[in-house]
Chain A
Amino acid sequence: MSSTLPLAVAQQSHTALFMFMAFVAATLVITYFSARKSSGSAGYFAAGRRITGWQNGLAVAGDYMSAASFLGIAGMIAFKGYDGFMYSVGFLVAYLTVLLIVAEPLRNAGKYTMADVLAYRLSPRPVRALASLSTLTVSTFYMIAQMVGAGALVKLLLPGVSYEVAVAGVGVLMIVYVVFGGMLATTWVQIIKAVLLMCGTLFLSVLVLKHFNFDISKFFDAISHVPVKSADGTVVTKDFLQPGLVYGAAVNPWGPLDLISLGLALIGGTAGLPHILIRFYTVPDAKTARVSVVWAMLIIGAFYIMTTFLGFGAATILTPENIVVGGKPTDNMAAPLLAHFLGGEVFFAFISAVAFATILAVVAGLTISASTSFAHDFYSNVLHHGKETKPGEEVLVARITAFVVGAIAIFLAIKLQTVNVAFLVGLAFAVAASANLPVIVLSIFWRRFNTAGAVTGLAVGLVASIVLIIISPSVMSLDGKGLINATPLFPLKNPGIVSIPLGFLAAIIATLCTREPAAEARFTEMEVRANTGLGAEKAVSH
């Protein structure tokens, strides 16, 4: 099977390309119609606040279910079993933080960006400047990771298309969606992609279960007897339901602590990811925001349960030693190869096309969050004190920013082609959890919170996450896999367990050292708004 596969992949690349082109064509039609209507700031940045609950739920899920989780988690489970499942769990439970703590107050007290909530009662310019910096950091790092992943994936799935062409193609398309279609087009790209991804995953899961004659106990029995080739060439049977193949104390003494640190970054970081938070401004009110989180939780939960079927399915049906491309074990290919084996050529092409659609939609979502934050927070509010000198200026700046961000992302992704950038996703979650989440939570719930606290919290959370990642085994390692060839100074790959408390502590200590009566006075107004929705922005009528 593994010997014939590369040939089959080459033959089928045209089918996959054709399906991907159909997705691109559909999304461009939507962009064309959106472009004629996304006028004005609320239209461009927040899709006119007219997205419905289930639509936004699909869009949130679409923004969240990246290729890293679709291909990456399936691959991790296929090679390492249970420990990959821990990611799936964290990705869903994280939405309880969003639902219970962040979504509704954010919708009621903000306009376009997460910084709106902070600027509401704090001194706007310093707070927005730092919040914008943090947003741009999270978005661009995450985007580069996605684009490098896209390029690498193309080489595997479509051998006829080069890395550079793939990265430039993804970059140009995302620029077109965001520059011309704004939030409305980006939202519909997410919705279509989420539906395609769910269909593909569901069908593949059913095929896996069919392979075991829909006998769950037979399936689990196979999972506990996976043949794995060890380093000396002998095949040993491993139980893939056993935890600890990656994070176990026997593999790495710091493993269990790293797993907890990862969990903290996931459940805290999701509620601080700018491209997820801005989705709650596209709905008419807080109630719809709430409904959309529940829709997203149903979709995301079902998706991550199914990724375990894909991962365990690949582990049992293909077995890890056959998940090989060009002679090298390639965990990202577990799901596509499983689709090829169970569903044939056309289904393989479909899954490959869905993987590209996924990358494209996620980078578009990241681009619009970066450009909205730059235009609304930095340009309009920090540089121009919240006044537009010309009508439509803020939207124009956002469009130019989207173009520049896209161009920089293409350039960096091509430059970083050979670098392992997987740690950038971890960095994005760590910054979101350590810088953004503490200041959002304290600003909503703590009357005494002030500007000094917000600025210090954002800065310390941002710097702590970046520094701890740079000195962690993800970047510093002696085996030549890291960017820096040195002994890591920090033992954990995930900095959350240190950086999140640091972010909270910095914000609290700086607040207690200073007094800002104006910020405290405005807390009453914000509390009434956040809890009643009074004065919150409604859908744009016409």
Chain B
Amino acid sequence: MPPSDPHNRDLTPESAAPTDIAPLGRDTVPAHERTADEEKAMADWDAIAADPDFKSLLASKARFIVPATVFFLAYYLALPILVGWFPNLMTKEAFGGLNWAYVFAFSQFIMAWVVAFLYVAAAAGWDKQAAALLAKFRK
């Protein structure tokens, strides 16, 4: 039944074409069934990898991802370390009857959300860099 059929009261979005699998003996294989070796000729991978714009894209990603990962791992592991081995420190009252252990644990949620939003903001820039890079090689 085609999706435009007015009697088709289907709730879910259309998912796949009926023939997205390669029949036996067909010459051209759909894109999603090609193996890596068959796609070797699809682009000049080495030329893209050698491009200074690609190198600056990688560097820009590393500049964010490496410190961000080190930071969130350290911030997260500090919680069990402090709670486990320094309970006297963590059970001191922070404010309003709450102790530091609870405040620090709660702050992990805020930390995770903030790092995620910073990542998304940074990644929008990488999307633009990648698009510009690919446009250079498309012509």
With A50-B15, A100-B68 known as contacts, the answer to whether A537 contacts B32 (CB < 8 A) is yes
How near does chain A come to B24, taking the closest CB pair, in angstroms? 7
Q: Nearest chain-A residue to B86 (Cβ)?
A: A256
25 A-B pairs, CB-CB below 8 angstroms?
Answer: A37-B12, A82-B101, A86-B79, A96-B72, A100-B72, A104-B123, A220-B97, A242-B87, A243-B91, A244-B87, A255-B84, A257-B84, A262-B80, A267-B76, A287-B123, A287-B127, A391-B22, A395-B21, A528-B43, A531-B58, A532-B130, A535-B43, A537-B31, A540-B15, A541-B17
- Chain B residues whose CB sits within 8 angstroms of the CB of A535 once the complex forms: 39, 42-43
Whether B80 pairs with A256 at a CB distance below 8 angstroms is yes
Whether A96 pairs with B98 at a CB distance below 8 angstroms is no
With A41-B20, A533-B130 known as contacts, the answer to whether A294 contacts B120 (CB < 8 A) is yes
Residues of B with Cβ closer than 8 Å to A?
1, 3, 10-24, 31-33, 35-36, 39-40, 42-43, 45-46, 48-49, 54, 57-58, 61, 65, 68-69, 72-73, 76-77, 79-81, 83-85, 87, 90-91, 96-99, 101-102, 105-106, 108-109, 111-113, 115-117, 119-120, 123, 126-127, 130, 133-134
Q: What 5 A-B pairs come out closest when comparing CB atoms?
A: A256-B84, A43-B16, A48-B15, A40-B20, A48-B16
Whether A528 pairs with B12 at a CB distance below 8 angstroms is no
Instruction: Classify chain A: how many residues form its interface, as a range.
Output: 35 or more
Cα distance A247–B83 when bound, in Å? 9
Whether A241 pairs with B101 at a CB distance below 8 angstroms is yes
Q: Which of A59-67, A297-305, A454-462, A499-507 contacts B (4 or more CB under 8 A)?
A: A297-305
- Chain A residues whose CB sits within 8 angstroms of the CB of B20 once the complex forms: 39-43, 540
With A42-B20, A287-B127 known as contacts, the answer to whether A244 contacts B83 (CB < 8 A) is yes
Whether A100 pairs with B58 at a CB distance below 8 angstroms is no
With A85-B105, A93-B112, A522-B36 known as contacts, the answer to whether A528 contacts B45 (CB < 8 A) is yes
- Chain B residues whose CB sits within 8 angstroms of the CB of A301 once the complex forms: 109, 112-113
Residues of A with Cβ closer than 8 Å to B?
29-30, 33-34, 36-44, 47-48, 50, 82, 85-86, 89-90, 92-93, 95-97, 99-101, 104, 111, 120-121, 184, 188, 217, 220-221, 224, 241-244, 247-249, 255-257, 259-260, 262-264, 267, 287, 290-291, 293-294, 297-298, 301, 304-305, 386, 388-392, 395, 522, 524-525, 527-528, 531-535, 537-538, 540-542
